[in-house]
Amino acid sequence: MSLMKDIDMQDDFVEVPLDRMRACPQCDALYHLQPVQPRERAACKRCGTVLIAPRAFAFTRIIALSVAALILLTIALFTPFLDLSAAGMHSNASIWDTAMAFSDGMMAPLSIAVVAFIIVIPALRLGLIVYTLVPLARGRPAGIHAAGAFRLAEALRPWSMAEIFVIGVAVALVKIAGMASVTPGIAFWSFCILVIMMIWQDSFVDREQVWSALHRGSRTANTA
């Protein structure tokens, strides 16, 4: 991170057109947009929120990492997750079994929530991001409802809990270590790599970069 330098955004508003202004989403401080180079960051002077942090080839990298994560998620769904053996008995659970642990009776809503948090929402976010960025990376007009798709992906961000699930698995393994031996399966490892991919992918996402590209993309679509 030492390569990044913080740059100031000017705050001289005399005759600044509206579309050259940005406000901090956290504290509403107003700034005059300045060009920010890849690996530089513009942060809010007042509250420190990073406002703009573009990366070179960001869209291509985000798409590649998202597709890789989606493939790993598919593998994780259809391969063994954990294998438990104790006193000559075997038991194994796939990720699907884990999510369905609450599926009977009044616990069913919890099963739906777990499926959503660890499978559906992460997959949906990745899909929406790929849908939004693929045309933009190729310099084509943005897809239909691309703005809505990216807005939904952003709104779902706190509800995507794959990384929390991985820590949960680690805790569960320690809890049963005393009573049985557990062997992690292919799904376990693909899930761990998938979480790293998702965190890495997220580090390339700069909202200003995406929204300005989307805006340009939709304007070319309108004039074409």
- The site for Zn ion (CB under 5 A) is made up of 24, 26-27, 29, 44, 46-47, 49
Residue 109 interacts, among another protein, Zn ion, none and using kind-specific CB cut-offs from 5 to 8 Å, with: another protein
CB of 110 to another protein, least distance (A): 5
Going by their DSSP bridges, the two strands 5-7 and 50-52 should be labelled as unpaired
Q: Does 14 bind another protein (CB under 8 A)?
A: no
Q: Does 124 bind another protein (CB under 8 A)?
A: no
| Contact pick of 56, 110, 144, 186 for another protein (by CB under 8 A) | 110
Q: How many residues bind another protein (CB under 8 A)?
A: 69
Coil, strand or helix: which one is 168?
A: helix
Q: First vs last Cα of the chain: how many Å apart?
A: 41
CA of 99: how far to CAs of 24, 44, 90, 166, 205, in Å? 38, 40, 20, 13, 29
Inter-axis angle of helices 58-78 and 121-137, nearest 10:
150
Contact 187, 83 (CB under 8 A): no
Q: Does 161 bind another protein (CB under 8 A)?
A: yes
- The CA distance from 112 to 8, in Å, is 46
Cβ proximity to another protein, 3 vs 158, nearer residue: 158
Structural tokens at position 93: 């659970």
Residues forming contacts to another protein in the complex (CB under 8 A) are 11, 13, 18-19, 21-30, 45-47, 51, 82, 84, 86-87, 89, 91-93, 97-102, 106-107, 109-110, 113-114, 117-118, 147-148, 150-151, 154, 158-159, 161, 164-165, 167-172, 174-176, 178-180, 182, 207-208, 211-212, 214-215
